[in-house]
Amino acid sequence: MKIEMEKLISHLKSMGFVFQGSEIYGGLANSWDYGPLGAELKNNLKQLWWDFFIKKNPYNIGLDSSIIMNPKVWEASGHIGNFNDPLLDCKECNSRWRADKLIEEKFIDLNVGGWQDSELEEFINEKKITCPKCNKTNFTNIRKFALMFKTNQGVVEDASSTVYLRPETAQGIFVQYKNAQRTLRKQLPFGIGQIGKSFRNEITPGNFIFRTREFEQMELEFFFAPNDTKDWFEYWLDQVQDFLTNVIGIKKENYILREHDKEELAHYSSRTVDIEFKFPFGVGELWGIANRGDFDLSQHQKTSGQDLTYLDPITNEKYLANVIEPSVGVERLLLAIFCQSYKEEKLDNGERILMQLPFNLAPYKVAILPLQKQQIDKSLEVYELINKTLGYSSTFDEKGNIGKRYRRQDAIGTPFCITIDFETNSDNCVTIRNRDTMEQERISINKIDSYLKNQLS
């Protein structure tokens, strides 16, 4: 998978997948908007996650909680105390860097996740790591930089009105755990999942949509009894891989599993395995699976004074549930999908860019292309049939020569093109072209549904 990020980004911009945020004002650093096709693709991805992890999983239920929460939530969760990055400034050019990233970018095999600030400083000095902007070695000491965005609620701007934009959706689940369990009469084990925006004032955002300050997460918190003998960590690690490979078509050779060292674990986790994707700019975290134990429920129980224990209906014991959390960013997953799907192909008569998106993710499943103006009425009829009656999201394009129209559909990942010609009116047949093989077949209009189903199976 050797692709150049520049080319991919320029393709995604020109095809209407991703635009620079606030572009007409010169943009806003590291902010991206999703164009018409990106929005469709993102929605398809979120829908597939929700179907797999919530609707079709026998244990799980969904939630949609607020972005702005009572600030005590963040005290209890440890985010106010622990959620910060080691920051240093270059004294020569005043640029600001994350100490751990400065090291990891120079020593790519080194993971400094669990290092103390003093160890990071010592290593930077010893190895004479230079400032990426001005190439000098003259840094300040490390300071802690809080990652949560702070704002004020209401008209008074003082400490009493300070609120935060959530840095993870997970806490919304923990604080509504008891309500969800009680109202849905759930017994352990069960999970609560949600999809929503999270915000982190990252010091070093970048690599396109890989690390941004505003992003969406798809998180599941799975609750189970502490004495449950099933290995739920392995279960969710398998489920995540099942989703990746069998639902959205991420190839096994494109990702690896990495177990966190003890020193690297987040403050709430006793075990974390990351699924890392081989992005063109390096291997990077895609999906984290963490064992949060009863850390969060116990913290919220302590801070809120509310009883968050579960009464076991069989043993009559009361205890706090343990938690396994699979958590992934929508945009990061989208980037992995983009990187894997983007292909440049040489053809006998030129070349083409192909987005080899799986059928279930593609913004349009079918493009309806009349060969000439005279077939527009019949083509619109076929478009209505496929789009409305059969329910395959489709597009209609009558402009330009047919070769160019095929190229455009290849470039946005439409799996099938259907052309309507002079004979369609008399024989009720159309030509259907496969995006990947470019093979064409003539079939009857009333066989389109079974043809598409057959191709997919």
Nearer to ligand GAP, 217 or 394 (CB): 217
Nearer to ligand GAP, 148 or 382 (CB): 148
CB of 10 to ligand GAP, least distance (A): 21
Q: How far is CA 358 from the centre of its chain?
A: 16
CB of 403 to ligand GAP, least distance (A): 38
CB of 332 to ligand GAP, least distance (A): 4
Alpha carbons 240 and 151: distance in angstroms, whole number: 35
Helix (H), strand (E) at residue 395: strand 394-396
Nearer to ligand GAP, 81 or 391 (CB): 81
Check the annotation: does 217 bind a ligand: yes
What's the half-sphere exposure (Cβ side, CA atoms, 13 Å) at 379? Answer: 23
> Do 358 and 352 form a contact (C-beta atoms < 8 A)?
no
Strands (DSSP E) along 153-203, which ranges? 162-164, 190-199
From the list 171, 208, 154, 193, the residue with the least C-alpha distance to 74 is 171
Check the annotation: does 329 bind a ligand: yes
CB of 329 to ligand GAP, least distance (A): 3
Nearer to ligand GAP, 292 or 378 (CB): 292
Check the annotation: does 372 bind a ligand: no
Check the annotation: does 328 bind a ligand: yes
Alpha carbons 228 and 223: distance in angstroms, whole number: 10
Taking the CA atoms of residue 127, residue 133, residue 138 and residue 140 in that order, the dihedral angle to the nearest 10 degrees is -100
Check the annotation: does 326 bind a ligand: yes
CB of 421 to ligand GAP, least distance (A): 46
Check the annotation: does 200 bind a ligand: yes
Tokens of 280: 């063109």
Nearer to ligand GAP, 219 or 410 (CB): 219
Check the annotation: does 398 bind a ligand: no
Alpha carbons 15 and 233: distance in angstroms, whole number: 40
Alpha carbons 27 and 4: distance in angstroms, whole number: 22
Residues near ligand GAP (CB under 6 A) are 168, 170, 200, 202, 211-212, 215, 217, 219, 285-288, 325, 327-329, 331-332
CB of 387 to ligand GAP, least distance (A): 33
Ramachandran angles phi, psi of 142, nearest 5°: -75, 140
CA distances in angstroms from 325 to 174, 189, 226, listed in the order given: 11, 13, 15
CB of 286 to ligand GAP, least distance (A): 6
Helix (H), strand (E) at residue 183: helix 177-183
Check the annotation: does 352 bind a ligand: no
DSSP letter for 136, please.
Answer: -
Nearer to ligand GAP, 48 or 443 (CB): 48
DSSP letter for 375, please.
Answer: G
Nearer to ligand GAP, 85 or 421 (CB): 85
Greatest distance between any 2 Cα atoms in the chain = 80
> Do 64 and 218 form a contact (C-beta atoms < 8 A)?
no
Location of structure tokens 């789009």? 387
Nearer to ligand GAP, 212 or 414 (CB): 212
Check the annotation: does 216 bind a ligand: yes
Check the annotation: does 105 bind a ligand: no
CB of 240 to ligand GAP, least distance (A): 11
Alpha helices (runs of H) in 62-152, residue ranges in sequence order: 72-77, 79-82, 99-106, 117-126
Name the residue whose CB lies closest to ligand GAP: 329
Nearer to ligand GAP, 290 or 367 (CB): 290
Check the annotation: does 370 bind a ligand: no
CB of 287 to ligand GAP, least distance (A): 6
Check the annotation: does 332 bind a ligand: yes
Does the N-terminal peptide bond of residue 189 adopt cis geometry, omega within 30 degrees of 0? yes
CA distances in angstroms from 352 to 249, 407, 411, 431, listed in the order given: 22, 6, 8, 21
Q: Which residues are annotated as a binding site for ATP?
A: 200-202, 210-215, 285-286, 329-332
Q: Which residues are annotated as a binding site for substrate?
A: 98, 168, 215-219, 325-329
Q: Which residues are annotated as a binding site?
A: 98, 168, 200-202, 210-219, 285-286, 325-332
